[in-house]
Each structure stands twice: as structure tokens, then as C-alpha cells.
Amino acid sequence: MENPERPATVLIVEDEPGIADILRITLKYHGFTVHTAATGRQAVAAAREHRPDLVLLDVMLPDGNGWEVCRTLRAESDDLAVIFVTARDAPRDVVGGLALGGDDYITKPFGVDEVVARVHAVLRRTRRETEPADPVLRHGDLEMDETTYTVRRAGEPVDLTPTEYNLLRHLLRNAGRIVTKEQLLQHVWQYDTVVESTVVETYISYLRRKLDRLGPPLIETRRGIGYGLRALA
């Protein structure tokens, strides 16, 4: 039986260094122990050495395809969770095969928050990862309930669009520090979607309009750096 207190180990199998880096940095940041492999052969060796709980497995590898790797890995460890990563324009039968062979699949391009959410969801199923005890994020008079997607300030409901919600959630999860515009673009908007960097300012102003009518100014601008939540009494 796995010890749920031990941070889960994730093996990233990806031959595109840029994508491998983003996944590695993101999952490390979220507390996972991370190993990487760039080929199927490396993946099999790394799995033997590190015994991962979950593998993020690119389908198109330089020395073969992800299914063969998945079969080999599962033959050696049948409780291993596998999330396939594939291009969005993959043929329909590929996508169908993914659904059968893995615990889940993610299509590129993806947002890093989506990857983290999928990894947690699959691990919860496969190793009964414990849910956080309190699903409510709090900061001063602000409350965000992540199970019902509701936000309240000073007890008043605040109606947010999905993008505004994701932006506020990222600020809340990083309360007490400044988050750069770059990080917000990466976490809230898909990292490889071309969006104007002014989109962050625009959405910050939407959030301020909705939140600041219920209390003192909440979001702080650190000019040239980014944004954070002001400490509230």
C-alpha cells in the first residue's frame, strides 16, 4: 500500500525539451518528485530506477510510440498510472486508443494548470491521494470554494467569468508573494497560445471592478514585475 504522505513521483517522457522543461518545472513547483526521459528506452530504464507513481507519456517518441512504452511499463508495474500526451490534431483512432490504454490523456497545446489537475485526479483514483481537507481558499474577507466554484467577499457573492476565476485562484494560491505577468500568462492562459500581454492588465482591471466594490483594494500592482494580493487586516 502506498503511503499517501509521500509526495508522488512523476516520470515525464517527452522528446521536445521545451515541453519537458515546462512540465518538470510545473510539477516540481506543485511538490511532485520529477524525473524525465526523452526516449522510450530511457523511459523504461528510468521507470525501473525510480518507480514512478505516474508517467506523463508523449505518444510520438524518437524511438517508437508511447503505447509500446506503456505496455512495457505496465508489464513491470501494473499499478502504474499513465497519462498520454498527444498532439491535438492526432487522428481520431489515436485519441480512441489513448482513452483505452491510459488512465487519461492530454492534448497539446495544454495549460499547465490543466496538467496538474489531471495528474492529481488520476493519482486520487490510483493511489487514493487524499483530498485537501478544506476546499476553501481564504484571504482576509475573500473566500473561494474550489468545489462549487463560488467566490465571496465580505459574505457577498462575486460573479466571475472562468478566466477571472482562474486568475484570482492563481493569485490566492500565491497569496503573500508577487506573481509575474509571465507566470500568469503561463498558468491562466495556455502557455503556447499567442495572447497580448496586455490581456493580464485587462483581466486584473475586471477583477478589481468586481472585488473592490465590496471592500478595500485587494490586488496590488508591482510596476514592471507583476501582481499580488494585499495583506488585509
Interface residues toward Ca ion, by CB under 5 A: 15, 58, 60
Q: Which is nearer to Ca ion, 26 or 86 (CB)?
A: 86
Q: Which is nearer to Ca ion, 91 or 132 (CB)?
A: 91
Smallest distance, Å, CB 76 to Ca ion? 22
Q: Which is nearer to Ca ion, 57 or 151 (CB)?
A: 57
Smallest distance, Å, CB 23 to Ca ion? 12
Smallest distance, Å, CB 207 to Ca ion? 37
- In this structure, are strands 33-37 and 156-158 parallel, antiparallel, or unpaired? unpaired
Q: Which is nearer to Ca ion, 62 or 216 (CB)?
A: 62
Smallest distance, Å, CB 14 to Ca ion? 6
CA dihedral (29, 30, 35, 39) positive or negative: negative
- Closest-CA residue to 217 (of 202, 200, 232): 232
Query: Cβ-count burial of 168 within 10 angstroms (0-12 exposed, 13-18 middle, 19+ buried)?
Result: buried
Q: Which is nearer to Ca ion, 60 or 90 (CB)?
A: 60
- 98 with 59: CB under 8 angstroms? yes
Smallest distance, Å, CB 85 to Ca ion? 8
Q: Which is nearer to Ca ion, 63 or 212 (CB)?
A: 63
Which residue of the chain is nearest Ca ion when measured via CB?
60
Smallest distance, Å, CB 58 to Ca ion? 4
**What is the Cα–Cα distance from 121 to 137, expressed in whole angstroms?**
19
